[in-house]
């Protein structure tokens, strides 16, 4: 059974895994060229030219009552692996940022047929130097941050193994060490447009996967859906 599948071209690696029969836990599929990458909240994801950036998805198990932990666990697993290349931060719940610009993102979706399993889709800007006008002021890549001699395929294997290690652990809640590590990696400020464009100051990740923010009037807890 192959746990690493490399496709020459596909619309979306998340979509490909949704349609595969039978599904396989911890299978990771990479697209050399991703034509219609998906982002959160129905947005599109810029994938760049073939083999320029990394686009892959993996089927991971999760505990039935805690699907909201999946994006946080995925983000921290990727953060751990990418720290070997450069310092970076997490913007809640699962954006990877460097110097205030977005380096990568994660799209987590429930698997349509496999119980208690999610598809974790990862997009990471590796060699891109030019971005579309709508994101050129907010995006960056490993290349633009000084990491220039890097094989995309090798990075895919390393990040896939990091995700597999994390999701082999049973987590019914987040332990103190996980929370401390996530808090340390997190960007201290973010904005959530669904809260009337109010600026929120990240306070702490909670054991149930919710996040506590400071507001003008006190504290606010938010629960990030998968």
What are the structural domain ranges in the chain?
Answer: 4-186
CA distance 47 to 125: 8
What is the distance between the alpha carbons of residues 122 and 78, in angstroms, rounded to a whole number? 9
User: Token pair 């464009």 is at which residue?
Assistant: 197
In the 8-state DSSP scheme, what is residue 62?
-
Q: What are phi and psi of 109, to 5 degrees?
A: -135, 145
Q: What pLDDT shows up at residue 191?
A: 59
* Residue 4 neighbours by CB under 8 Å, 6+ apart: 27, 28, 30, 156, 157, 160
126 closest CA partner among 11, 32, 17, 5: 32
What is the model's pTM? 0.89
| Tens digit of each residue's pLDDT (9 = 90 or more) over 119-172 | 999 999 999 998 888 888 999 999 999 998 899 999 999 999 999 999 999 988
CA angle 113, 92, 149 (to 5 degrees): 90
pLDDT band at 44 (very low <50, low <70, confident <90, very high): low
In 3D space, the residue among 49, 56, 36 whose CA is nearest the CA of residue 128 turns out to be 49
| Superfamily name and number for 4-186 | Bira Bifunctional Protein; Domain 2 (3.30.930.10)
For a pLDDT cut of 90, what percent of the chain falls above it? 53
Cβ burial of 122 (10 Å; 0-12, 13-18, 19+) is buried
Query: How far does Cα 157 stand from its chain's mean position?
Result: 15
Question: Residue 70: its pLDDT value, please?
Answer: 92
């Amino acid at each position: 059974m192959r746990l690493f599948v490399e496709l020459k071209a596909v619309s979306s690696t998340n979509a490909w895994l949704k349609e595969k029969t039978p599904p396989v836990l911890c299978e990771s599929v990479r697209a050399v060229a991703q034509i219609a990458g998906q982002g959160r909240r129905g947005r599109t994801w810029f994938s760049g030219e073939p083999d320029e950036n990394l686009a892959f998805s993996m089927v991971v198990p999760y505990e039935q009552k805690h699907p909201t932990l999946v994006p946080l666990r995925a983000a921290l697993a990727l953060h751990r692996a990418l720290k070997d290349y450069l310092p970076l931060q997490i913007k809640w719940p699962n954006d990877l940022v460097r110097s205030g610009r977005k380096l990568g993102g994660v799209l987590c979706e429930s698997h349509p047929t496999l119980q208690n399993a999610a598809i974790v889709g990862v997009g990471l800007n590796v060699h891109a130097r030019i971005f579309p006008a709508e994101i050129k002021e907010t995006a960056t890549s490993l290349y633009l941050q000084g990491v220039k001699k890097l094989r995309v395929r090798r990075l895919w294997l390393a990040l896939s193994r990091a995700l597999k290690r994390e999701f082999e652990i049973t987590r019914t809640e987040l332990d103190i060490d996980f929370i401390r590590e996530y808090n340390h990696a997190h960007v201290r400020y973010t904005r959530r447009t669904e809260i009337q464009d109010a600026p929120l100051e990240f306070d702490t990740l909670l054991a149930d996967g919710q996040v506590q923010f400071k507001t003008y009037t006190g504290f606010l807890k938010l629960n990030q859906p998968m």
